[in-house]
Structure 1
């Protein structure tokens, strides 16, 4: 499974503690050489300090006479921790099935998922035919496991609908996303809308729609998934996908920003009951 931001921070602390121990330095001795307090040394090593300064990490490595190999590895890890941005998923590379399996594994760790999607029906709520067309249209490299990826996506959707112990899944999509189908596949629209209604009825799923003419405080620019984990020691993560890379953002500033975006999307959306009624009507009238 890909490493989450909290796991990276823990690994950075472990690496820095290991190098200090190898150098035979106590926490007090290292603190004196780096120019920080012993308490801060402890906070960095035990993953309490979320974003240690890069210059502190550099002085730490100087103080323990780190090898060039150790320095390169630790500074790379520290940079990922400080920015809280990780290339956790190089999209369209490797196994498409593994990508879907990874998302299913993340669901098992999550207690709450908030998903905003402005452009298309979210993966867990797609029909097999729709999912196949979406995955094919989004692939930029050759692959032979599209059918396996679709099957895994269907398994994930079924689990979210049926698993009483799974995460609460709150989805906000635009009207454009609800109506969109891949080019040349307009025949999929009605079945997909009917399936979306089915998903919205699941006990642990909340679905809300933002109509195209709804007044909005900001434009719906980017889709994202906010994951809150069942383990309270594991900080929430926001996942954002681009055509080339997936980003996992766990910094407090990033979370605060996406929290604002989520709240604004909610204020623009119809209620779950209104959304269900609207979906039912357009599914019935879809061609």
Structure 2
């Protein structure tokens, strides 16, 4: 188990090592091709040191990697630590903890996101009013300026659903998410409408896990599985805690959480029935 920056370095290094092996090169030969010492290649491949996008580009050229999507993904993984290339959330670095920045980085690079939510609506589907109420409740002592900034970040993150191509979001929501009165009845009414709209988007799959399903494998807490194009080796599970996030990237962890998510989907209502369920709660509220 590792925290975000470490797991990203390790995954990037592992992929670069695999590409070097495919190219039929030793680490020493690769180093000579790009004019480095062999130890630098080793540190990059083991994830013990960061690597700039410019260095990744050199290695990819040396390994004759011409897959555009794979190149872009690996360069994006390296870009978060490069001072010459700031992503949009860099402007909020003064208010965002490192674990949150790393989560946004993974979210912006992923092609797919599977999430179980047991308490609140996923950030990518929140209305501004709901996001403000959740943020205010989750972080004590926020002044209005910082609260505004955190809400702006939450809403800016939603751009991944409108990107070309968009992130594919597969979400299972416990019924408690829909019934918890975050921000009051009016805020919840608009939030339920937003969920119904989002559920009709082709890039969003939304299912509700009703109370009638009883105890389920997700009762231990919410989780997110990020998936990436070209290689499953970059997939990662994220578990959120009160003060930090935990990243799981071992194959057995990914398999266990993938199986858990598939089980939750099986026991959840269908997409059509979930829409009717949300509409019913909205009408009752």
Specify the TM-score bucket, using the shorter chain as the normaliser: 0.5 to 0.7
Instruction: Give distance in 2, aligned partners of 1:246 and 1:110.
Output: 17
Task: Find the residue that maps to 1:113 and give its secondary structure.
Answer: strand
- 1:113/1:167 contact within 8 Å kept: yes
Instruction: Give distance in 1, aligned partners of 2:282 and 2:200.
Output: 15
- In terms of fraction of residues, the more helix-rich structure is 2
Instruction: Give distance in 1, aligned partners of 2:244 and 2:137.
Output: 17
- Cα displacement string for residues 42-96 of structure 1 (whole angstroms, at most 9, x for unaligned residues): xx87859xxxxxxxxxxxxxxxxxxxxxxxxxxxxxxxxxxxxxxxxxxxx9614
Instruction: Give distance in 2, aligned partners of 1:270 and 1:140.
Output: 35
Aligned to 2:252: 253
Whose radius of gyration is greater, 1 or 2? 1
Shift of 1:253: 1.8
Aligned to 1:121: 121
Instruction: Give distance in 1, aligned partners of 2:215 and 2:267.
Output: 6
Task: Find the residue that maps to 1:220 and give its secondary structure.
Answer: helix
2:222 corresponds to 1:223: yes
**Distance 1:245-1:230 versus aligned 2 partners, 3 A rule:** same
Q: Give the alignment of 1:127-276 within 5 angstroms.
A: 127-140=127-140, 142=142, 144-160=145-161, 162-182=162-182, 185-218=184-217, 220-232=219-231, 234-276=233-275
- 1:96/1:146 contact within 8 Å kept: no
Shift of 1:164: 4.2
Task: Find the residue that maps to 1:254 and give its secondary structure.
Answer: helix
Shift of 1:8: 2.4
- 1:190/1:283 contact within 8 Å kept: yes
Instruction: Give distance in 2, aligned partners of 1:157 and 1:209.
Output: 21
- 1:181/1:189 contact within 8 Å kept: yes
- 2:117/2:172 contact within 8 Å kept: yes
Aligned to 2:78: none
Kindly report the root-mean-square deviation, in angstroms, between the aligned alpha carbons of the 2 structures.
Answer: 3.5
Instruction: Give distance in 2, aligned partners of 1:255 and 1:233.
Output: 10
User: What residue ranges of structure 2 are gaps of 5+ in the alignment?
Assistant: 17-26, 29-41, 47-92
Aligned to 1:51: none
Shift of 1:243: 0.5
**Distance 1:253-1:97 versus aligned 2 partners, 3 A rule:** closer
**Distance 1:179-1:205 versus aligned 2 partners, 3 A rule:** same
Question: Normalized against structure 1, the TM-score is what?
Answer: 0.64
2:10 corresponds to 1:8: yes
Task: Find the residue that maps to 2:211 and give its secondary structure.
Answer: coil
**Distance 1:191-1:164 versus aligned 2 partners, 3 A rule:** same
Instruction: Give distance in 2, aligned partners of 1:269 and 1:212.
Output: 10
- 2:95/2:149 contact within 8 Å kept: no
- 1:111/1:167 contact within 8 Å kept: yes
Task: Find the residue that maps to 1:165 and give its secondary structure.
Answer: coil
